[in-house]
Structures are given as structure tokens and as C-alpha cells.
Amino acid sequence: MALIQLVYTSTATRPMRDADLEQIIASAHHKNPHNGITGMLFYADGHFMQVLEGEEAQVDATLERVRLDPRHTDITVTERSVISERGFAEWSMGLKRAGPDEAQADIAASRAVVVPNSLAAAILGELTRSAG
């Protein structure tokens, strides 16, 4: 079985407060360790970007469950690659909530770990698009 890293972007169906994000992360922390999933969830300006890493079948199963979640829509997978090691091995699911500037810093940091440059640029564009 291949270890893969999948990245998607989505649009929140309503503005997410800290408590909303904490609830999402609590679900992730509850389920991801059991499924061998690690990753990072970014939220900025009504947009999510999530990195999911793990065995292919587990990543796909998690994505299919998350895809049905009414808290977001327009789920677009922007990256799916076989990886040799995890970029977020220490995170059963990290959370970064940020405005455009902080999002840029976070993405620069994640790019240093594993995310390809072209992808980071696309994510940044997606996250900051609604900020104008």
C-alpha cells in the first residue's frame, strides 16, 4: 500500500469561529490516529485547505467522509502524490487559522517541509482570493 499525501481546498458554508474549528479538530483527533492519518488544516477567510497523509485507502476513506460534511462545500483536490515520508508526522491534525499574511507564513513553512512550490502558490491564491 502506498503512503500518499492529498491536499484539497474547500469553501466554508458559514464563517467558522474558533469553537467551530475546535470541534472539527476534535473529530479529527478522535478518528485520525485510529486511521493512521496525519496532516494539517488551514482556515482563512472562509476557505479551508487540508493536507491528509496516510495509507491510500485510509486517506480516500477519510476524504469521502469529510466530503459529505455540510460545514463546507466545493471540495477540490489539488494534489495527490505518493510520498516517502510524512510532512506532518507529528500532527494527528494540526490547525492553523490565519489571515492572508499568516496564511502566507504558514504555507511558506509547510512548503519547506513537503508541499511543492507550485502547490503552495495555488493554495495561497485560493486562501487569499476572497480577501481581495
Binding positions for ligand FMN, rule: CB under 6 A: 24, 27-28, 30-32, 37, 41, 48, 50, 62, 65-66, 69, 71-72, 93
Angle, CA 99 vertex, CA 79 and CA 69 arms, to 5°: 50
- Least Å from the CB of residue 112 to ligand FMN: 22
Q: Is 39 left (phi over 0), alpha (psi -120 to 50) or beta?
A: left
Query: 16: which DSSP letter?
Result: P
Mutual orientation of helices 100-113 and 117-129 as an angle, nearest 10°? 160
Give 46 or 100: the residue with its C-beta nearer to ligand FMN. Answer: 46
- Least Å from the CB of residue 65 to ligand FMN: 5
Give 64 or 117: the residue with its C-beta nearer to ligand FMN. Answer: 64
| Cα(103)–Cα(130) distance, integer angstroms | 13
- Least Å from the CB of residue 4 to ligand FMN: 14
Give 65 or 129: the residue with its C-beta nearer to ligand FMN. Answer: 65
Give 7 or 24: the residue with its C-beta nearer to ligand FMN. Answer: 24
Q: How far is CA 89 from the centre of its chain?
A: 14
